């Protein structure tokens, strides 16, 4: 395996540091940092780890932290909420991308799912607006009378399911739908209201959802198929679909699998058992996907937890020690080419 000199590590946290402290810590505490780093690493792993010198920069890669160990530079990237990178997500994630372009490997510390993450699906948003001619319900299905917006929306959503639901790693979920004679929708709150009458053909429907994919090619083909389905209108109706870019995908690559092989050897050496690749369909989007096109990447190196994305989300504190051992020895082996 080739010698790796630069590693980018992504954590999900925010750090606020005073500028004076940023400058002072590397200058006045270099020897202390070197001694303490060696002591802590060797205490955490069942191995003897050593290096000639340590360098710490809190300014050069700000807001990231740059640590240099005998020619090996480690950039610790602190990011915000990956669930909400903001409307300009490519701007908010640009520092992470810049760090990746200067690195050989990216390691991310999302929850340990029992297997290594070498691939993650991306996600995209979509919005469907359907209209139909309003008329008395007694004429529905008759020639020259609209089928109505609700029937057209139902046709479209069912056709999505029939044509695309069997493709591996491709999923799409209608999250909300409102339809009737009077329809309102608030995109900020993702909520809406609707009203109608039993004897009136509904003139309007609005629905939106997500689209998850394993590669950019899969995303583009899915969007093309969805547009074609939308364009095949029922009589007296019209519909339009728009798409929003979200988190990119992290496809499985040979480089990612090579990193997994190193993690597997580390886990076995520590007595933690073998590590296999996690099914990409069992992971959501993650910040590491923004940089996987620039660097070999591996995720799932964090602690163990349960009930993610619920009010009862928990962290198993007993997993902190094993996760620390695994990460420390993994980095050590990657930077030594073994």
Q: Domain ranges in the chain?
A: 6-120+250-336, 122-244
SS3 of 237, please? strand
- 122-244 belongs to CATH 3.30.70.360: yes
pLDDT of residue 17: 35
pLDDT of residue 253: 94
pLDDT of residue 285: 78
Tokens of 92: 């908010």
pTM of the model: 0.73
Q: How far apart are CA 88 and CA 63, in angstroms?
A: 18
Mean per-residue pLDDT, 23-27: 46
pLDDT of residue 191: 87
Which is more confidently placed, 139 or 83?
Answer: 139
Mind giving me the DSSP string for 123-185? EEEEEEEEEE---BGGGTTSTTS---HHHHHHHHHHHHHHHHTTSTT-EEEEEEEEEESEEEE
- How confident is the model over 298-309, as pLDDT tens digits? 999 989 988 877
Q: Does residue 88 have a pLDDT over 90? A: no
Q: How far apart are CA 119 and CA 93, in angstroms?
A: 19
**H or E stretch including 106?**
strand 105-108
pLDDT of residue 3: 56
Q: Does residue 47 have a pLDDT over 50? A: no
pLDDT of residue 281: 86
- How confident is the model over 184-224, as pLDDT tens digits? 988 888 889 999 999 999 999 999 999 999 999 999 999 99
Backbone angles phi, psi at 228, to 5 degrees: -65, -40
Which is it for strands 237-244 and 296-298: parallel, antiparallel or unpaired?
Answer: unpaired
Superfamily per CATH, domain 6-120+250-336: Zn peptidases (3.40.630.10)
- The whole-chain average pLDDT of the chain stands at 82
* Structure confidence at residue 20 as a pLDDT band (50, 70, 90): very low
Q: Are 128 and 322 in contact (CB under 8 A)?
A: no
Q: Are 237 and 128 in contact (CB under 8 A)?
A: no
* Structure confidence at residue 172 as a pLDDT band (50, 70, 90): very high
């Amino acid at each position: 395996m080739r010698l790796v000199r630069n590693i980018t590590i992504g954590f999900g946290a925010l750090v606020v540091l005073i500028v004076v402290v940023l400058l002072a810590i590397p200058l006045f505490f270099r020897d202390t940092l070197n001694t303490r780093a060696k002591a802590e690493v060797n205490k955490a792993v069942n191995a003897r780890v050593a290096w000639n010198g340590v360098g710490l920069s809190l300014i050069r890669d700000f807001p990231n932290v740059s640590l240099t160990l005998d020619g090996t530079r480690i950039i610790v990237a602190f990011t915000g909420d990956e669930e909400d990178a903001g409307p300009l997500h490519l701007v908010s994630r640009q520092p992470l991308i810049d760090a990746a372009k200067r690195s050989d490997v990216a390691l991310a510390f999302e929850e340990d799912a029992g297997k290594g993450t070498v691939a993650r699906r991306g996600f995209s948003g979509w919005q469907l607006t359907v209209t139909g001619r309003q008329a008395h319900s007694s004429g529905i299905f008759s020639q020259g009378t609209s089928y109505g917006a609700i029937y057209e929306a139902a046709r479209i959503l069912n056709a999505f399911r029939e044509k695309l639901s069997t493709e591996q790693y491709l999923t799409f979920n209608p999250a909300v739908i409102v339809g009737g004679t009077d329809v309102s929708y608030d995109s900020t709150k993702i909520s809406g209201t609707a009203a109608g009458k039993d004897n009136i053909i509904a003139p309007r429907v609005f629905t939106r959802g997500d689209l998850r994919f394993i590669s950019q090619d899969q995303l583009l083909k899915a969007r093309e198929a969805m547009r074609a389905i939308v364009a095949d209108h029922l009589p007296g109706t019209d519909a339009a679909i728009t798409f929003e870019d979200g988190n990119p995908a992290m496809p499985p690559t040979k480089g990612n699998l090579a990193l997994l092989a190193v993690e597997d050897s580390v886990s076995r050496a520590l007595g933690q058992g073998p590590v296999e690749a996690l099914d990409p369909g069992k992971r959501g989007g993650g910040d590491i996907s923004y940089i996987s096109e620039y660097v070999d990447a591996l995720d799932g190196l964090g602690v163990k937890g349960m009930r993610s994305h619920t009010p009862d989300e928990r962290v198993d504190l007993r997993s902190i020690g094993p996760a620390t051992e695994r990460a420390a020895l993994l980095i050590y082996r990657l930077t030594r080419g073994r």
